[in-house]
Chains A and B, each alone.
Chain A
Amino acid sequence: MSIHELMFYLFSGMILLFSVLTVTSRRILRAAVYLLFVLVSTAGIYFMLNYQFLAAVQLTLYAGGIVVLIIFSILLTSHISQKFEPLGVKKMVFSALAVAAGALLSIMTILDFGFDTVVTTSQNPDMELIGTSLLSYEKNGYVLPFEVISVLLLAAMVASIVIAKKEKSK
Chain B
Amino acid sequence: MLSEIPLSYFLVVSTLMFFIGIYGFLTRKNLITILMAVELILNSVNINFVAFNRYLFPDQLEGHFFSLFIIAVAAAEAAVAIAIIISVYRRYSNIDVERVDTMKF
Touch between chains A and B, by CB atoms below 8 Å: yes
Bitwise interface map of B from 1 to 43 toward A, beta carbon under 8 Å scored 1, else 0: 1111111111111011111111110111110110111011001
CB contact list, B61-105 vs A, under 8 A: 61-62, 64-65, 67-69, 71-80, 82-87, 89-90, 94-95
Determine whether the beta carbon of A5 is less than 8 Å from that of B32: no
B71 touching A57 by the CB < 8 A rule?
yes
B40 touches A22 (CB 8 A): yes
Indicate which residue in B13, B28, B60 contacts A15 across the interface (CB closer than 8 Å): B13
Task: Tell me the total A-B contact number using a CB cutoff of 8 A.
Answer: 225
Collect the chain B residues with CB atoms within 8 Å of residue A157's CB: 76, 79
Q: How large is the interface on A (under 10, 10 to 19, 20 to 34, 35 or more residues)?
A: 35 or more
User: In whole angstroms, how far apart are the Cα atoms of A152 and B24 in the complex?
Assistant: 27
Contact, CB under 8 Å: A51 / B50: yes
* B interface residue count range (under 10 / 10 to 19 / 20 to 34 / 35 or more): 35 or more
Q: Return chain A residues, CB-CB under 8 Å to B18.
A: 103, 106
Q: A77-B86, A95-B23, A102-B19 are contacts. A45–B47 as well, Cβ < 8 Å?
A: yes
Identify the 9 closest CB pairs spanning chains A and B, nearest first.
Answer: A23-B24, A156-B76, A160-B83, A164-B83, A95-B26, A163-B83, A103-B19, A19-B20, A119-B3
Instruction: List the interface of chain A (C-beta within 8 A of B).
Output: 2, 4-5, 8, 12, 15-16, 19-20, 22-24, 28, 31-32, 35, 38-39, 42, 45-46, 48-51, 54, 57-58, 61-62, 65-66, 69-70, 73-74, 76-78, 84-85, 87, 91-92, 95-96, 98-100, 102-103, 106-107, 110-111, 113, 115-120, 122-123, 125, 129-130, 133-134, 140, 142, 145, 149, 152-153, 155-157, 159-161, 163-164, 166
Binding site for A on B (CB under 8 A): 1-13, 15-24, 26-30, 32-33, 35-37, 39-40, 43, 46-47, 50-51, 54-62, 64-65, 67-69, 71-80, 82-87, 89-90, 94-95
A-B contact pairs, 15 of them (CB 8 A): A2-B4, A12-B9, A22-B36, A24-B24, A32-B32, A77-B85, A77-B86, A103-B19, A115-B6, A117-B56, A120-B59, A145-B69, A149-B73, A156-B76, A163-B87
